[in-house]
Chains A and B, each alone.
Chain A
Amino acid sequence: SQQGEEDPQALSIQEGENATMNCSYKTSINNLQWYRQNSGRGLVHLILIRSNEREKHSGRLRVTLDTSKKSSSLLITASRAADTASYFCATVGNQFYFGTGTSLTVIP
């Protein structure tokens, strides 16, 4: 499959803890993007990291990219109950390929 694959499939943490999700892929990419989806809604773009970047921050989000290992990670620090959602990586070459997502539950 050309899709990114997220790991773990599901993650449950306490409010205030950090959440880490991983994405692995197989083909070369132009960039990699992370999206969030609240239950029953559309996806919302969180952050984009280009293939020549190694790390990027946005608020409580930190994304890393290792093109030699074809992997990326999304770290959400100091999680909140409102962070409960599914998170998808999208590997972007000539086309977009979305992974199957990580379901994050943050327990208040």
Chain B
Amino acid sequence: GAVVSQHPSRVICKSGTSVKIECRSLDFQATTMFWYRQFPKQSLMLMATSNEGSKATYEQGVEKDKFLINHASLTLSTLTVTSAHPEDSSFYICSAPSAGSGYGYTFGSGTRLTVV
């Protein structure tokens, strides 16, 4: 079935540095990728929608300059957290509509970001 490979799974970085998270769709083309943030024991909050070859659409309240999204190909979308601060520590997860109607969305395995 459809697989979205997300890397890294865990990252610890210092305040002020940038972190790039990659999501690759394996064996299917993801023209759209959704990026979520999840706090412990909470639901998934949609941050932005990336579309291959065009600018990402950000949800209200999400800083575009802080969370840079690039969707350069049909199989790769990236999220870069720039100038990270401790409050950016969270679980970031991507998802793409699975190929075919009725098969839901395939999620990456998530990235646990800790900013120290």
Q: Does A associate with B in a complex?
A: no
